[in-house]
């Protein structure tokens, strides 16, 4: 499929240290990089996966953005849930197209975007954010990528949720143990709740409260990721990695 005006595209400027840019192609405009600029009129009509050059001759890959790319380059007002964690959380919860899920703690909307793409056009994401600053950033990001299956609410989940019989819940809150009863009433029996917290103290309080509230199969995981550098001369682990970002707590709602 050819690139059209209005499409989002991942521009990868090659070099010793490649640079990646998530940009929207607009007819008559250009994009400036550290190695020269690209006229969008020159790439409109090219196929995704094509290679072009800046005005200075630097090679640039024209790629279709994945969910990973969008999450990494998202405008943000607070710490986001990283793709390495989001992928595990979505699979752990068994999210499939058509699912209807609850999210509390929208933040900048990184996890919201991942959930939106996972549930597909027939699914629904109900996302709650109490901080108006974060809500406005998330709203712009959701509109930026035309996520029609997301309903964003400026509301503290502690005040309750409007939805029932949901397939899963995702929490990214400072005190998730305070809302386990509310979440339990919103999701179907047997359905998963996934909680993301950064500290051991939060893990303990959340796990204890989940078990008291009536959640089973409660587990805690941490995802670490390390890249591998490889070229004609050598292959070795990268000297930098994405280490601790948070703990992922999962559990299933039990019938009382």
Same domain for 72 and 152, yes or no, is yes
Assign residue 55 the CATH number of its domain.
3.10.330.20
Q: What is the CA radius of gyration of the chain?
A: 21
pLDDT (0 to 100) of residue 52: 95
- What's the pTM value of the predicted model, to 2 decimals? 0.88
Q: What are phi and psi of 171, to 5 degrees?
A: -120, 130
pLDDT (0 to 100) of residue 116: 97
Q: What are phi and psi of 79, to 5 degrees?
A: -60, 135
Domain span at residue 44? 8-65
Same domain for 72 and 22, yes or no, is no
- The total number of structural domains in the chain stands at 2
Same domain for 117 and 93, yes or no, is yes
- Does any domain span residue 1? no
Residue 232's pLDDT band (cuts 50, 70, 90): confident
**Which of 47, 65, 83 is the last residue in one of the domains?**
65
Of the candidates 182, 217, 191, which has an alpha carbon nearest to the alpha carbon of residue 96? 191
What is the residue-averaged pLDDT of the chain?
A: 94
Mean pLDDT of 141-155: 94
Whether 189 has a pLDDT exceeding 80, the answer reads: yes
pLDDT (0 to 100) of residue 139: 95
- Does any domain span residue 143? yes
**Which of 65, 81, 108 is the last residue in one of the domains?**
65
CA 111 to chain centre: 3
Same domain for 19 and 75, yes or no, is no
pLDDT (0 to 100) of residue 82: 87
pLDDT digits (tens, 9 = 90+) for 28-56: 999 999 999 999 999 999 999 999 999 99
């Amino acid at each position: 499929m050819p690139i059209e005006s209005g499409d989002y595209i991942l521009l990868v400027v090659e070099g010793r240290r490649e640079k990646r840019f998530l940009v929207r192609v607009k007819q008559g405009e250009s994009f400036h990089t550290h190695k020269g600029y690209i006229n969008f009129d020159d790439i409109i009509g090219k196929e995704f996966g094509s290679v072009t050059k800046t005005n200075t001759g630097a090679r640039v890959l024209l790629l279709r953005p994945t969910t990973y790319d969008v999450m990494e380059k998202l405008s943000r007002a607070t710490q986001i849930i990283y793709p390495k964690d989001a992928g595990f959380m979505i699979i752990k919860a068994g999210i499939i197209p058509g699912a209807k899920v609850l999210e509390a703690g929208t933040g900048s909307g990184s996890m919201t975007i991942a959930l939106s793409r996972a549930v597909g056009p027939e699914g629904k994401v109900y996302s709650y954010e109490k901080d108006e600053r974060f809500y406005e950033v998330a709203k712009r990001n959701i509109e930026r990528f035309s996520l029609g299956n997301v309903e964003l609410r400026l509301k503290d989940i502690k005040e309750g949720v409007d939805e029932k019989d949901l397939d899963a819940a995702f929490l990214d809150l400072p005190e998730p143990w305070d809302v386990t009863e509310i979440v339990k009433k919103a999701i179907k029996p047997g359905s998963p709740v996934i909680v993301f917290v950064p500290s051991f103290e939060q893990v303990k309080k959340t796990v204890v409260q989940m078990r008291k509230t009536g959640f089973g199969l409660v587990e805690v995981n941490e995802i670490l990721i390390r890249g591998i550098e490889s070229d004609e001369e050598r292959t070795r682990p990268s000297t930098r990695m994405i280490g601790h970002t948070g703990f992922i707590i999962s559990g299933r709602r039990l019938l009382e």
